[in-house]
Chain A
């Protein structure tokens, strides 16, 4: 990228063009009390060699997951990224391209996104997927806004306390200035009790939002949730784990109306928290209320297969303030990586990864609780993640002890759930080995 200089001569030329005699005159309308009357407090410029060394030193202060053993989860997971994902995504046609304003000029990009949408629809058993959103949290909030519009009800949204706490924070922010009541149903013993859910849902409820497997790794009674929601005329919105769908029923199979997910697990690195990938798919009757961009397949005037942005009448540049969402872009490169990952794995590969996660997580749960120093926090079926209670209550000391041995043992839950201050969340992906799990078990015994 070109570094754009701003020389004294450039400034003079620009001032002349706008008819100002000096910078002082140009900024005269800015009130004096808002003006900074001193230089910015920045260190002096470094030479290239010095700067490289400085950045390397800063980067070395981080501990990347490839230099530690990672049992961290809670929405972002250390899954294996096959080399072919990097290979395809690093091709300059994809890696350096920015969506042209005439999107159809870049058929390759549109085709890749169309493949992504198709794969997501197959993975979730939903009818339509958009071409992606920013991350799991905003996808969940966008799904709720979509449900408010579809249901023609904006009075109440019911969300399970076992949905990712940060997703719920994003949702609360989205709903802050509306008139929608956000009702949170407790997740007693790690999952929502159908009776408690039913009690919170009334005939003014637009949607029920649950996560399955939930934030604690536990499976929810999604069939009951679907029935409760639909009986009240509300939609069922589900946050799913894409990797779990190698084994678990797909959202479309148990009655979800809108399914959303964090897509980082699908071939995207942890990258210290982002950029990530928001997945959103829905049933056919609702697709005109979808947020974001949609790629469609059609034929050109010579009858050849081609791709276009479709249903743009939902979007801001046409529908203005009545647009379904203010999202007018997508997470193209990460969606491409997800598409490559899914295409590579196929149904059997997805099943294999899910089985490995399940079996290794099961093994880890048994080993880690064997000594009695740790116990399972909840008596629920789990997938690749589970909550552990520390008998002596000192979660941070355990995590610190593990960290000095190069192990990220888990996520302390007290930050979001004060009642679980003596608990941590442990995630076990297919990358964890028996010896890694045994090392952690020996450490906590």
Chain B
């Protein structure tokens, strides 16, 4: 996980979050799936993403990713409203594995509050969780 950007936060359910401020100062969280999770899912065949405008709650599903063997929910790591969806990725699932923290982003969420950020893991803590999962 050498490519892991240092300014990301991670959920225990393997979503990553990058929080930035937009031009008006609103906090926008870009959300994707971690490289560890993408690798664990193996061959991806389908992803279902929500429509922009939908309200999401931390810990609740906002979409699904399907591999040849399983369907996994994508859980929102934050509270807020979806303002942008990476619709192009539906037809380019390879971007999820090729560039999970860049072109592989899934949705941008305008935060309604920052409380959920406190429950997220920093890169080191997340890496530790992944290593423990791998060694099980």
Which A residues contact B (CB, under 8 angstroms)?
152, 288, 313-314, 318-319, 322
Contacts and interface: CB of A to CB of B under 8 A. Distances in A.
A302 B47 CA distance: 30
A319 B46 CA distance: 15
Interface string B65-106: 010011101000000000000000000000000000000000
15 contacts: A152-B51, A288-B46, A288-B48, A288-B66, A313-B66, A313-B69, A313-B70, A313-B71, A314-B71, A318-B69, A318-B70, A318-B71, A319-B71, A322-B71, A322-B73
Question: Counting chain A CB atoms within 10 Å of each CB, which of B48, B51, B66, B71 scores highest?
Answer: B71
B122 to A, nearest CB: 31
Nearest to A288: B46
Contacts of A152: 51
Interface of B: 46, 48, 51, 66, 69-71, 73
Contacts of B73: 322
Q: Which 8 A-B pairs have the closest CB atoms?
A: A313-B71, A313-B66, A319-B71, A318-B70, A313-B70, A288-B46, A318-B71, A322-B71
Contacts, number: 15
A314 B73 CA distance: 13
A152 B51 CA distance: 10
A interface: dominant SS? helix
Contacts of A319: 71
Contacts of B71: 313-314, 318-319, 322
A123 B69 CA distance: 32
Nearest to B66: A313
A288 B46 CA distance: 10
Given A318-B70, A319-B71, 12 more contacts: A152-B51, A288-B46, A288-B48, A288-B66, A313-B66, A313-B69, A313-B70, A313-B71, A314-B71, A318-B69, A322-B71, A322-B73
Contacts of B66: 288, 313
Contacts of A313: 66, 69-71
Contacts of A318: 69-71
A341 to B, nearest CB: 34
B52 to A, nearest CB: 13
B7 to A, nearest CB: 33
Contacts of A322: 71, 73
A314 B71 CA distance: 8
Nearest to B50: A152
A318 B70 CA distance: 7
A59 B70 CA distance: 50
A36 B4 CA distance: 68
B74 to A, nearest CB: 13
Nearest to A318: B70
Question: Counting chain B CB atoms within 10 Å of each CB, which of A152, A313, A319 scores highest?
Answer: A313
Contacts of B51: 152
Contacts of A314: 71
A127 to B, nearest CB: 16
A322 B48 CA distance: 14
Contacts of B48: 288
B39 to A, nearest CB: 19
Contacts of B46: 288
B80 to A, nearest CB: 19
Nearest to B64: A322
A319 B65 CA distance: 12
A282 B45 CA distance: 20
Contacts of A288: 46, 48, 66
Nearest to B45: A313
A423 to B, nearest CB: 47
Nearest to B71: A313
B63 to A, nearest CB: 12
A179 to B, nearest CB: 18
A213 B57 CA distance: 45
A312 B69 CA distance: 8
A67 to B, nearest CB: 52
A59 B46 CA distance: 53
A318 B46 CA distance: 16
A322 B74 CA distance: 13
A293 to B, nearest CB: 16
A237 B40 CA distance: 39
A384 to B, nearest CB: 41
A314 B66 CA distance: 10
B56 to A, nearest CB: 13
A313 B66 CA distance: 8
Nearest to B68: A313
A89 B60 CA distance: 49
A377 B66 CA distance: 52
A113 to B, nearest CB: 21
A93 to B, nearest CB: 30
Nearest to A313: B71
A145 to B, nearest CB: 17
Contacts of B70: 313, 318
A297 B48 CA distance: 24
